[in-house]
Structure 1
């Protein structure tokens, strides 16, 4: 992979280029290609799921619908076929969202010609984000789609589509994405990219050997898929971070800047995020020009989970504010899709698409985020129209993209647009006119996106260079960024802790992968060990020691208490949690005393200073109060206590009495939760409700005590 400092993005010709809009279209098409494969199928993914159904509804054609079963089926049908799956070795934060590949029970059926490689050959906090499928050296797919759950949807985006369910049968909100299909030289170039990626990830030479035979004679292009464009050069733009001597490639970023600057009439962009500083700066420059293009963005109303909403949505709000300030000539609009009748969530815009003047079409994996510009591995494809026929083809695709949200057929949108253009209007005037025509109450629609977020989220967001970095971060840089603001917010401190824990996870992952420790981590073996632990005399003492060690490592004490309650019977769990909490408090205080008086300055923050003042004035009562309502993390309070003149009797007694009500409440809650999971009868529900009420009542009492200590 070449450096982009001096080189331009690679160009390769394609005889056919097709655009696949939404999951029903893409999944069915890639399934048809898999059934035509004869020599090799190569998949590179950020996420993948063996049980994702590629075909939903319709008649049974005799072939499996689920991805994993389909690949095995085709391996049996084609004796020379090999399958290669390259999957990002994802971060622990995504573990609950992923199918547990290579962890415990492998969900993928084994086959001697099916090969897997988990890609961890990237810097800390980076990801393999390319979404590619290459078949037989003849065709290749590239875009925003992973072959994962929560991606399939029709272009109708109905609120109640019965087929839009994940492998467990749960419904999810509408989902929009785009993928390109190319062949000829472009497909060969993408296959070579996959070979390089496979080798750099440690997959060995098997893929290179399989590709050495070259493209097959048979054409795996699915029948019925009409090309959008023919015989056209394709630009392949990459993002590759610098890593272990590998130079960085920032072609994605540079191509965005060039394409935005070149637009004359309009820019139409669809994306999941909007945080990339360089891209937004280029858009702002375009808006400030007296004569420049209209800019229309289609973004999701919410970017995703609660964590994304409190980070990426905050950065998006800042970028939108910058764009609106730059919009001196009224050429900027941002929309989000809405689907009435949804009971949960909002429609997801996951496409990564740019259309400029109906002359440039760009689709790929790169988000409009900083990390897609220089940290994650990305791949975008772009083509430039050379004549009016190709311009018309790209315009027809744009009309198809807008059609579901405007309630009109693509051809009708094109006709209305021509009429408005004849009167001097542009893309924004067309969209606004069609939005004002009214649609059925249940129909999907476009709404203007305000993008405002809670002001508290704005204040709490850590430095953007930590949340959404545009290049690899080294430990010294992280330390510098965290130290720049001496009034660091609690969120920033939590992020520093998270980065430290991530380093621990990465170290453990290496030990599990390359040492005998990995053999000890079979989930069933762990479950059996936990059962044996809870039934032995040495189990509670060992759990107590683990409790203390985990607490010193800043694991939240609430989680440790819950773990004790879930592992042991109620009485034993209470004793383990209470003993562990008290010993952890003592060990933390001793550690704080050893670190010395400079600890308070290093921890910083007005909250820690106030707590230190209260602890020094009214030790027993304040300790009792802060143990009931933790105004600072358990581990931090213990460290602070180590540098204050507190009597050990007050400290330990306050901890013991203050932790006991919370431990009792959490134990009742845990027992109720276990009972509900096992049998949802009234007694189990009542027990769970008692636990919740106990926790709520404890919080109320604690806050009253906290107010009393403040007033005093």
Structure 2
């Protein structure tokens, strides 16, 4: 079978990772990231959509309390922790790149600007705000690179509301904001990897820094490499000695061409899947992705497709625009699903409270895993900056294929409140069907997966969904779509008022 990875098309670069682990949920990510950063000798790059300096990396653990995995005592609050890293290693270069519009979020949620102002003029910790993007575009990739030796790449932001364990318990006392407010259950995912692929992600980070600041960063000098291994001691290695495709999205901006490697890769994955496509995404709003799924569902022997979404979106505008777009695409896909091979679910915890899905993953058969920052929406396909990793098993790599399937089944087991072996047995008992396995294991109470409900859209919701005003794909469409939406919306209001006057 032909590989879907092609440099310059479906990915920017193919690089070797001597170790890679998929990390589910931020409790483990924050803990492992902290362990890794304490081992940094030369450089730390934090590239992200948002950072909140007040969050606890290991909530519940008092500052300064050492444990078995930490040989030194470290502060646990992110801002204090980064300061301590810089103070204890004068040769450590810490670079933080944060989306500039995200600064507004920091201020409105009550985050003190102390660290932001201090680091913008600090000689050891360098904070920059990334404004190198079109209007309304977001800097959305999430990278943490340590010494170009170990890197984290995925969908988890180091900010408020992200910390949660895989239990997603209803009354988790540690899941709270820095102000002490309870936060809802949150499902997320990232990766940790080392080797050539980590160095390549270091290059991605330095390129992004250059675009945002016009400052060129040199990579860490490999000739001064030490025996130090930044890999977190407690993190079990999931995959060894594998090739990774690094795929990106970037908007057209100031003479730079648009990059659509992630969209191209997703379409190639959907086109190549044989039996099962399992997807987790915060959104389902990309028409091209939905159309590709619909075409496969029309095939008599095509794949089954399972999509895990949140029950609904956050915020009024996002809920109106993105939920409306999802309903329209669900209808289109379901109309094409003449063989009953499509399901879209949202997860609930033991109290039947919906768990917000922020993970961005795609599993195709026993062959492909894609994980990163890109959702199934238009922005992630061509308007925001994104970075995804793609792992592909080649024919004969049976051990790798087995690990891909076991990772997928482990995720399904988490959502169903089951053991991974129960999922594996159920899939085998239903001739490889994950839909049949999910429906057989789904409970009527406690943890489980519930179907996302279809409903009729109001006229305004139809118009908002059609306009893509909150989810543009490219800069050139923003002004047109906004103008067109306003004309249609208020033009319709004017016509209604005119008819009403005539009737009276």
TM-score relative to the length of structure 1: 0.64
Distance in 2, matches of 1:347 and 1:214, equals 47
Out of 355, 359, 365, the position equivalent to 1:347 is 355
Following the alignment from structure 1 to structure 2, what is the Cα–Cα distance between the partners of residues 192 and 160? Answer: 42
Counterpart of 2:14 in 1: which secondary structure?
strand
User: Which segments of structure 1 move beyond 6 Å, counting only runs of 4 or more?
Assistant: 3-7, 107-110
Work out the CA distance in 1 between the residues paired with 2:223 and 2:184: 41
Report deviation, 1:358. Answer: 2.2
Alignment match, 1:435? 442
Offset at 1:338?
1.6
Q: Distance in 1 between matches of 2:238 and 2:368?
A: 13
Please give the residue correspondences for 1:466-477 in structure 2 after superposition, counting only pairs within 5 Å. Answer: 466-473=469-476, 477=480
**Equivalent in 13, 20, 23 of residue 23 of structure 2:** 20
Q: How does 1:488-527 map to 2 (within 5 A)?
A: 488-490=488-490
Q: Go from structure 1 to structure 2 and tell me whether the alpha carbon gap of 1:456 and 1:223 turns closer, same or farther (over 3 Å shift).
A: same
- The residue aligned with 2:50 is 47
Q: In the comparison of the two structures, how many residue pairs are matched?
A: 488
Distance 1:432 1:215 in 2: 55
Q: Select the residue among 484, 495, 499 that pairs with 1:606.
A: 495
Higher relative contact order (CA 8 A, sep 6+): 2
Which residue number corresponds to residue 313 of structure 1? Answer: 323
Per-residue deviation, 1:465: 3.6
Residue aligning to 1:233: 243
C-alpha displacement of 1:237: 0.6
Q: Specify which of 74, 77, 87 is matched with residue 76 of structure 1.
A: 87
Q: Which residue of 290, 301, 308 maps to 2:311?
A: 301
**Aligned mate of 1:260, from 270, 275, 280:** 270
Which residue matches 1:283? 293
| Superposed displacement of residue 425, structure 1 | 5.0
**1:97 and 1:115 mapped to 2: Cα distance?**
23
Partner of 1:332: 342
2:183 aligned with 1:172:
yes
**Do the aligned residues in 1 keep the contact of 2:415 with 2:449 (CA within 8 Å)?**
yes
Who is 1:426 aligned against? 433
Q: Which structure 2 residues correspond to residues 128-167 of structure 1 after superposition, within 5 A?
A: 128-167=139-178
1:669-688 CA deviation, whole Å, 9 max, x = no partner? xxxxxxxxxxxxxxxxxxxx
Residue aligning to 1:566: none
Query: Which secondary structure does the structure 2 equivalent of 1:311 belong to?
Result: helix
- 1:456, distance to aligned residue in structure 2 (A): 4.8
1:223 to partner: Cα distance: 0.3
Measure how far apart 1:411 and its partner are: 2.6
Greater mean alpha carbon deviation, residues 82-91 or residues 55-64:
55-64
- Shift in CA distance, 230/450, structure 1 to aligned 2, threshold 3 Å: same
- What residue ranges of structure 1 are gaps of 5+ in the alignment? 494-602, 615-709
Q: TM-score, normalised by structure 2?
A: 0.89
What secondary structure sits across from 2:51 in the alignment?
coil
Aligned-residue CA RMSD (Å): 2.8
Structure 2 contact 274–303 (Cα < 8 Å) conserved = yes
Matches within 5 A, 1:646-657: none
Deviates more, 1:393-402 or 1:172-181: 393-402
Given the alignment, which residue of 98, 111, 133 partners 1:122?
Answer: 133
| Paired residue secondary structure (1:170) | coil
User: 1:121 and 1:150 mapped to 2: Cα distance?
Assistant: 27
- Looking at secondary structure, tell me which structure has more strand per residue: 2
Equivalent residues of 1:100, 1:106 under 8 A apart = no
Task: Name the CA shift for 1:212/1:121 in 2 (closer, same or farther; >3 Å).
Answer: farther
- How far off is 1:12 after superposition? 0.6
Note if contact 2:155-2:372 (Cα within 8 Å) is conserved in structure 1: yes
Distance in 1 (CA, whole Å) between partners of 2:292 and 2:213 is 38
Given that residues 140 and 386 in structure 2 are in contact (C-alpha distance below 8 angstroms), is that contact kept between their aligned partners in structure 1? yes
Q: Does 1:403 align with 2:426?
A: no
Preserved CA contact (<8 Å) 1:301 1:451: no
Report 1:174-213 matches (<5 A).
174-202=185-213, 204-205=215-216, 208-209=217-218, 211=220
2:392 and 2:207 mapped to 1: Cα distance? 27
- Within 1, Cα distance between the matches of 2:290 and 2:475? 21
Residue-by-residue CA offset, 1:365-403 (whole Å, 9 max, x unaligned): 001000110000110001012312111111221122122
- What are the Cα deviations for residues 660-712 of structure 1, in whole angstroms up to 9, with x where unaligned? xxxxxxxxxxxxxxxxxxxxxxxxxxxxxxxxxxxxxxxxxxxxxxxxxx97x
8 Å CA contact 2:48–2:99 kept in 1: the answer is yes
**Distance in 1 between residues matched to 2:109 and 2:223, nearest whole Å:** 34
Q: Say whether the 8 Å CA contact 2:203–2:219 is kept in structure 1.
A: no
Counterpart CA distance in 2 for 1:427 and 1:307 is: 34
- Contact 2:9–2:264 at 8 Å: present in 1 too? no
2:242 is paired with a residue whose SS is strand
What is the deviation of 1:26?
0.8
2-structure distance, mates of 1:261, 1:58:
47
CA shift digits 1:398-425 (9 cap, x unpaired): 122122221212233223333x14xx35
Are the aligned partners of 2:162 and 2:186 in contact in 1 as well (CA < 8 Å)? yes
* 1:373 has 2:381 as partner: yes
Q: Secondary structure at the match of 1:316?
A: helix
- Give the unaligned 5+ runs of structure 2: 1-5, 67-72
Instruction: Map Cα deviations across residues 87-134 of structure 1 (whole Å, 9 max, x no partner).
Output: 001169846655657699848697420001100101111111000000
CA distance in 2, matches of 1:377, 1:364: 12
The 3 A distance-change label for structure 1 pair 58 and 116 is closer
Give the drift of 1:53.
0.8
Indicate if the aligned counterparts of 1:405 and 1:444 stay in contact, CA closer than 8 A.
yes
Give the SS at the match of 1:489.
helix
Q: Deviations over 1:492-544 (max 9, x none)?
A: x8xxxxxxxxxxxxxxxxxxxxxxxxxxxxxxxxxxxxxxxxxxxxxxxxxxx
* Residue 247, structure 1, aligned to residue 254, structure 2: no
**Cα distance, 1:95–1:375 mapped onto 2, change above 3 Å:** same
Q: Does the Cα contact within 8 Å between 2:277 and 2:364 map onto a contact in 1?
A: yes
The answer (yes or no) to whether the contact 1:119–1:128 under 8 Å persists in 2 is yes
* Structure 2 counterpart of 1:38: 41
Q: Distance in 1 between matches of 2:167 and 2:482?
A: 48
Q: Check whether the contact 2:49–2:102 (CA below 8 A) recurs between aligned residues.
A: no
Q: State the alpha-carbon separation in 1 of the partners of residues 239 and 102 from structure 2.
A: 38
Q: Which of the pair is proportionally richer in helix?
A: 1
Secondary structure of the corresponding residue to residue 49 of structure 1: coil
Superposition deviation, residue 56 in structure 1:
2.2
